[in-house]
Amino acid sequence: MKTQHVESMEELVFKNKNKLYGAYLLRRNYNKQLLVALLIGLFVILSAVSYPLVAAYLNPNHFIHAGTNVGFYDPIAPPSADPPPPPPPVDPAIPERVAFVAPVVVDKDIETDMPTQGDLSGQTVAAVAPGDIELPPLDNNKNVIEQPVPKQEPWISVEEMPQFPGGEAELFRFLSSNIKYPAEAREIGVTGRVYIYFVVEPDGSVSNIAVRRGIGSGCDEEALRVVGMMPRWSPGKQAGVPVRVQYTLPVKFTLQ
């Protein structure tokens, strides 16, 4: 009776295909290679487990027999072969001091060469005449260089602003009574305000007078002249101390 050939899975997958391709060979030999790998792994495990037993059987000196003394030693400091020498004997002639001996206080006069107040009371002190003391000559011709003290920057606004004597009403009365309208400005009809900048010093005097904005035709020069004639102001104060304060004053020129 003729047996029927049963195709394997590999043959069914690669039927009518190129079986020389590497995947066919790998699938066909997979079971055989897996079995070989399992056998090799099992052999390695058994060898690792049985190696200590075989080594102990072949070298019987590793076993500790009954009646053998087992000792321990320090690998860092190995035991010395010679015992340490005994301490030297104590000399009985040297007394043994155990307790602290307190010092003995003796009441005794201390001799010194320092004279007492009674010895000095009978002595006289020689007075030194003023002429016996030599003083270095005083050089009155020595030049003294005085460093100029720089003025502080003027304040823009302070707690107590500077004030013209009598207030603003007296200030405008002073300006109107002293300003003379320039002839050039009167002829061409120039009118307007000239803004004069100045600084009120701590003593009330006026300095640094300049035209901030003018209208020309001689009005700027006339305003400068009259502001320079002003009396001392009441100085501005910051924290109760007089300081320099800048001030801008408008001087009005109007034709009537």
Cβ contacts of residue 251 below 8 Å, gap of 6+? 175, 179, 193, 194, 195, 196, 219, 223, 226, 227
Confidence band of 110 (pLDDT split at 50, 70, 90): low
Percentage of the chain modeled with pLDDT above 70: 56
For all residues of the chain together, what is the average pLDDT? 77
Residue length of the chain: 256
Q: What is the mean pLDDT of residues 220-238?
A: 93
User: For the domain bounded by 168-253, which CATH number is listed?
Assistant: 3.30.1150.10
Q: What is the mean pLDDT of residues 26-51?
A: 85
pTM of the model as a whole? 0.42
Rounded Cα–Cα distance for residues 233 and 39 (Å): 120
Residue located via tokens 């003995």:
104
At 52 the pLDDT is 81
Q: What is the mean pLDDT of residues 105-122?
A: 62
Rounded Cα–Cα distance for residues 176 and 173 (Å): 5
Q: What is the mean pLDDT of residues 21-37?
A: 74
Percentage of the chain modeled with pLDDT above 90: 36
Would you say the C-alpha torsion 70, 74, 77, 83 has a positive or negative sign?
negative
Instruction: List, as one string, the DSSP characters of the chain.
Output: -PPPPPPPHHHHHTTTS-TTSHHHHHHHSHHHHHHHHHHHHHHHHHHHHHHHHHHHHH-GGGS--TT-------SSSPPPSSPPPPPPPPPTTSPPP-SPPPPPP---PPP-----HHHHHT--PPPPPGGGS--PPP-TT---PPPPPPPPPPBSS-SB--B-TT-HHHHHHHHHHH----HHHHHHT--EEEEEEEEE-TTS-EEEEEEEE---TTHHHHHHHHHHT--PPBPEEETTEEE-EEEEEEEEE---
Confidence band of 30 (pLDDT split at 50, 70, 90): confident
Least confident of 100-114, 197-211, 238-252: 100-114
Tens digits of residue pLDDT in 174-228: 998 999 999 998 899 899 999 999 999 999 999 999 999 999 889 999 999 999 9
Q: What is the mean pLDDT of residues 59-86?
A: 58
Sheet of 245-253: strands edge to edge? Answer: 206-213, 192-200, 245-253
Better-predicted residue by pLDDT, 145 or 160: 160
